Structure 1
Amino acid sequence: MKQLMRIELDQVSGVFAIMPTPATDNASSPDAIDTVDHAEARRAASALIADGVDAIMINGTFGEAATLTQDELFAFTRTVVDEVAQRVPVLGGATTLNTRDTISRARMLSEIGVDGLLLGRPMWSPCDDETLVDFYRHVGAAVPELGIIVYDNPVSFRGKISSWCYSELTRIPQVIAAKYPALGPGLEADLDAMGDGMTLLPLEREWYAASQLAPDRIHACWSGSSSCGPAPAVSLRNALSAGRLGEAELIAEALGHASETFFPEGSFEIFSRYNVPLEKIRIDEAGYIKAGPCRPPYIHCPEDYAEGARESGRRLAALHRELSGRLAAARS
């Protein structure tokens, strides 16, 4: 087992790619036992690294942490950690419905060798501010060797994390960043609350806009679209780090165009009902990773919504091909 070294705040830089848990062909069956396609998981993790991502996050929403068995989740994590072999940080999802199971899962992920956690709060009932902060404090104390990226998803976790919570989370040494939702009017207040104690990761297509609002504070993005091909997010990173703002803006606009058909009726609320199948449909259509079928119960999706996801996947695949060529030319 590798020597653990907690991912720290100053390492939150670049493209934090989110990958699915590749599924076997029978994964949609409620009787299936082991549904992880480990060969594809190994291939996908190495492909993301070869194409330039800076970290990999697993076992989130479209990583199907909610529908993997515990054995599957641990086996998949072990496959990714072994394949990555410390080339980039790996952050594992430890979210469960309660604090004790989350701590148990986090400790096992630590033994497997992840560098940190992507951690959402329990969502059976909404957590008030004190409950939320206590949850992260207890988990951080239980696995002090792991950095924590807080998963702020207002729909999945029943509410936006408040600025007061962010100010309190900075007092927890393990908390280094937040996987941040869509940019909104609360961004400035949240950044002020974070101070120098943590940072936030915007969605890749909002990274340019976020960097213009806080150029000295935001140095990384989270990227689900990287599983459709990471060249757009990597190219955006390169443009921002080199100060080529016009180029960065154009890439952000192209990413926005690629996502236009992804959200049914333009609604994140509707999208959230079908988040897992829409993400996996988009990834499979793009062809960079074979995500495979969804695990039950989240296997249904209206066909018009699915076609919007396929179109988004096609657009992202084309953008990946275009920008991959530019990246190769720049390296030669």
Structure 2
Amino acid sequence: MLTKDDVRGVSAMIPTPCKEGQGGWQYEDSVDLDETARMTEQLIAAGIGSIAANGTTGECAALTLEEKLAFTRTIIEVARGRVPVFAGITTLGTKETVRQMRKFRELGVEGGFVGLPLWQTPTITNSVKFYADLAEAVPEMALMVYANPLFFKSTFPVEFWEGVGKHCPTVVTCKYVGNLMDPKNMLIDLPASMDAAPHVQFLPIDFAAPMAYDLVGDRLKGMWSTSCAMGPEPVVALQRAIDAGDKARMGEIMHDLHGLPNAIPDFKEFSKYNVQVEKIRCNAAGYIKAGPCRAPYEDLPDDWRALTVASGKAWAELCARKYR
């Protein structure tokens, strides 16, 4: 089974390419598998460290199980074991999550990318019990905790990680988001969380990775990124700078990224539009043909759309000018 030491570098949180004209609810075979194969090969060749499919911006809520299985099967076939693959398996409850984990394991998937059940506000007790139950039910599948407070109604405090450390042996990594409304504090509990669950590889978002490095130094072995779907070169370069402990290079890269147009005019509204933003800026960058957004997440205000397109194009231009 995968361990934390297998999860290093940039974890690519990928889009699910959609066939042209098939974003509507009536299309039950919407995944562009040819583009999925091309995307997977490109990202691996560019140096990403792992792949996580069907998170929020991978349109997990807009796909059927059959579409997710076909999508993940293609990724596994192309990856050929070169990088760990975590299949998105977030559902409304424990039994359905277990059922789907077993189906993905049959495909050869080694890891599940799983958020808390999407209904009741979780307590620390049932949050820990949820992952402990998954470990008992499918002990041969490693787990990535999808620790996003915006969607899972939890701040994932140190107490949660203490429980994971004691009771959830198959949890090997975590997509750690923290407080997006206050980026300066989004990693405030990272050192304590790492101490509480030493068998877990914590992955901060790419734009906060240098802050995480300041907190934990060379304990930081990776990051997660949706931006890499616009072109992975800047975030791969950032990870290499972190691996080398090169703070000057980290600063140069972050200066480049902060100079790009902001695709998110209001973080307080981001949870309403994040699927659309990621899909549209990815298409604008042109590295991957992500295709149309799927129902029901298709609406985007005109001002957001303009900023999103500008952001994607600027990212692509930066990649071509400085990182390729």
Work out whether the TM-score is over 0.5.
yes
C-alpha contact 2:85 2:109 (8 A) present in aligned 1: yes
Sort the Cα spacing of 1:140 and 1:253 in 2 relative to 1 into closer, same or farther, 3 A.
farther
Distance 1:239 1:118 in 2: 27
Distance 1:190 1:219 in 2: 13
Tell me which of 65, 85, 90 is aligned to 1:90: 85
Sort the Cα spacing of 1:173 and 1:323 in 2 relative to 1 into closer, same or farther, 3 A.
farther
C-alpha contact 2:10 2:236 (8 A) present in aligned 1: yes
Q: TM-score, normalising length from structure 1?
A: 0.91
C-alpha contact 2:12 2:225 (8 A) present in aligned 1: yes
The residue correspondences of 1:178-189 to structure 2 (distance < 5 A) are 178-182=174-178, 184-185=184-185, 187-189=187-189
Sort the Cα spacing of 1:34 and 1:17 in 2 relative to 1 into closer, same or farther, 3 A.
same
Pair 1:263 & 2:258 matched: no
Distance 2:221 2:210 in 1: 10
Distance 1:103 1:14 in 2: 28
The residue correspondences of 1:105-144 to structure 2 (distance < 5 A) are 105-144=100-139
Q: Partner of 1:12 in structure 2? A: 7
Distance 2:304 2:207 in 1: 21
Amino acid at match of 1:211: Y
C-alpha contact 1:126 1:159 (8 A) present in aligned 2: yes
Distance 1:221 1:143 in 2: 26
Q: Partner of 1:330 in structure 2? A: none
Amino acid at match of 1:122: P
Distance 2:5 2:296 in 1: 39
C-alpha contact 2:230 2:282 (8 A) present in aligned 1: yes
Q: Partner of 1:304 in structure 2? A: 303
The count of corresponding residues between Structure 1 and Structure 2 is 317
C-alpha contact 1:16 1:220 (8 A) present in aligned 2: yes
The residue correspondences of 1:229-248 to structure 2 (distance < 5 A) are 229-248=231-250
Displacement of 1:190 after TM fit?
Answer: 4.2
Distance 2:149 2:86 in 1: 21
Sort the Cα spacing of 1:167 and 1:228 in 2 relative to 1 into closer, same or farther, 3 A.
same
SS of 2:62's partner is coil
Distance 1:250 1:115 in 2: 36
Distance 1:264 1:163 in 2: 31
C-alpha contact 1:205 1:253 (8 A) present in aligned 2: no
The residue correspondences of 1:278-297 to structure 2 (distance < 5 A) are 278-297=277-296
Tell me which of 61, 71, 75 is aligned to 2:56: 61
SS of 1:117's partner is strand
Structure 1 stretches (4+) deviating beyond 6 angstroms? Answer: none
Gap runs ≥5 in structure 1: 1-5, 326-332
Displacement of 1:48 after TM fit?
Answer: 0.3
SS of 1:91's partner is strand
The residue correspondences of 1:215-234 to structure 2 (distance < 5 A) are 215-234=217-236
Amino acid at match of 2:99: S
Q: Partner of 1:192 in structure 2? A: 192
Displacement of 1:28 after TM fit?
Answer: 2.1
C-alpha contact 2:15 2:57 (8 A) present in aligned 1: yes
Aligned CA RMSD, in angstroms, stands at: 1.5
SS of 1:214's partner is helix
Sort the Cα spacing of 1:285 and 1:186 in 2 relative to 1 into closer, same or farther, 3 A.
closer
Q: Partner of 1:329 in structure 2? A: none
C-alpha contact 2:190 2:215 (8 A) present in aligned 1: no
Distance 1:313 1:24 in 2: 20
Displacement of 1:159 after TM fit?
Answer: 2.6
The residue correspondences of 1:6-85 to structure 2 (distance < 5 A) are 6-85=1-80
Amino acid at match of 1:126: T
Amino acid at match of 1:26: G
C-alpha contact 1:36 1:72 (8 A) present in aligned 2: yes
Q: TM-score, normalising length from structure 2?
A: 0.94
Amino acid at match of 1:180: Y
Gap runs ≥5 in structure 2: none
C-alpha contact 1:170 1:194 (8 A) present in aligned 2: no
Tell me which of 212, 215, 220 is aligned to 1:213: 215
Distance 2:301 2:117 in 1: 28
